[in-house]
């Protein structure tokens, strides 16, 4: 497999790309090859939390389920932060129980996500997807073991080049999320920013994939 797309909502069926498809409990599609599943902080339905968590727990036992998420905290959501925090913590504990990485959605709540990881002593990898902030925000995350995934904002905001290049080689992923551009285009830009070949970036991502998901990307 040449490319890994860390976070995408709709499969492209490109045979050269392993895609981690984002799934929601109530819209689960069993035909998707590899997926993450979680309760997004925008879409918390209080009466459905326990049934959603039960679905997530059942899917975490499926080898095709590679991660929990996307889940997290979003201060711009209409959902109250107390409820978001409760649902986030329940998902983190499931990830810990089943030893699965976590895809994190975080808006204006990085300190809270960091504090939650420390307080619950979460040891599984936690990856912030769609990162768009400054070095001052990312440094504490890196210092506390987070991985960072770049995509839409890397393509849209040239000022992110400095932030992207500050991330250690063993701590980043690339994604497309919902943008029209392909993962190949994201890899191209990442290689340009790093002054590397596409093959070098592919090898870095492959190594990181193996470290986080305990699978060999080249065998997929």
Q: What is the CATH number of the domain that holds 20?
A: 3.20.20.140
Report if residue 134 sits inside a domain: yes
160-189 burial, b if ≥16 CB within 10 A, otherwise e?
Answer: beebbeebeeebbbbbbbebeeebbebbeb
Largest CA distance in the chain: 50
pLDDT greater than 80 at residue 113:
yes
Report if residue 220 sits inside a domain: no
Binding residues for a divalent metal cation: 70, 105, 129, 177
The structure tokens 């890196």 sit at 142
Mean pLDDT value across the chain:
96
Report if residue 17 sits inside a domain: yes
- Structurally, the chain folds into a number of domains equal to 1
CA 184 to CA 31: how far, in whole Å?
24
Q: Look at residue 164 in the predicted model and tell me its pLDDT.
A: 98
Report if residue 72 sits inside a domain: yes
Q: Look at residue 146 in the predicted model and tell me its pLDDT.
A: 98
- The two three-digit tokens of residue 120, written as one number: 């619950």
Where is 85: in which H helix or E strand? helix 81-98
Report if residue 167 sits inside a domain: yes
Report if residue 137 sits inside a domain: yes
Binding residues: 70, 105, 129, 177
Q: Look at residue 132 in the predicted model and tell me its pLDDT.
A: 97
pLDDT band, very low/low/confident/very high, at 1 (cuts 50, 70, 90): confident
pLDDT greater than 80 at residue 39:
yes
Domain that includes residue 123, residue range = 3-215
Q: Look at residue 77 in the predicted model and tell me its pLDDT.
A: 94
């Amino acid at each position: 497999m040449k490319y890994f797309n860390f976070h995408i909502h709709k499969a492209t069926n490109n045979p050269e790309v392993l895609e981690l498809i984002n799934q929601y409990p109530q819209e689960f599609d069993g035909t998707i090859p590899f997926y993450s599943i979680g309760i997004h902080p925008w879409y918390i339905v209080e009466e459905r939390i326990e049934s959603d968590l039960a679905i997530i727990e059942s899917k975490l036992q499926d080898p095709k389920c590679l991660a929990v998420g996307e889940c997290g905290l979003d201060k711009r959501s209409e959902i109250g932060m107390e409820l978001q925090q409760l649902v986030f913590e329940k998902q983190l504990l499931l990830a810990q129980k089943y030893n699965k990485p976590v895809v994190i959605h975080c808006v204006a709540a990085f300190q809270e996500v960091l504090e939650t990881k420390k307080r619950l002593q979460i040891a599984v990898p936690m990856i912030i997807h769609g990162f768009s902030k400054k070095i001052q925000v990312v440094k504490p995350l890196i210092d506390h073991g987070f991985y960072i995934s770049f995509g839409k904002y890397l393509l849209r905001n040239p000022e992110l080049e400095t932030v992207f290049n500050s991330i250690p080689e063993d701590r980043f992923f690339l994604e497309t999320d919902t943008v029209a551009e392909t993962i190949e285009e994201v890899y191209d830009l990442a290689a340009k920013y790093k002054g590397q070949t596409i093959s070098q970036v592919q090898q870095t991502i492959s190594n990181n994939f193996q470290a986080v998901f305990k699978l060999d990307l080249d065998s997929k």
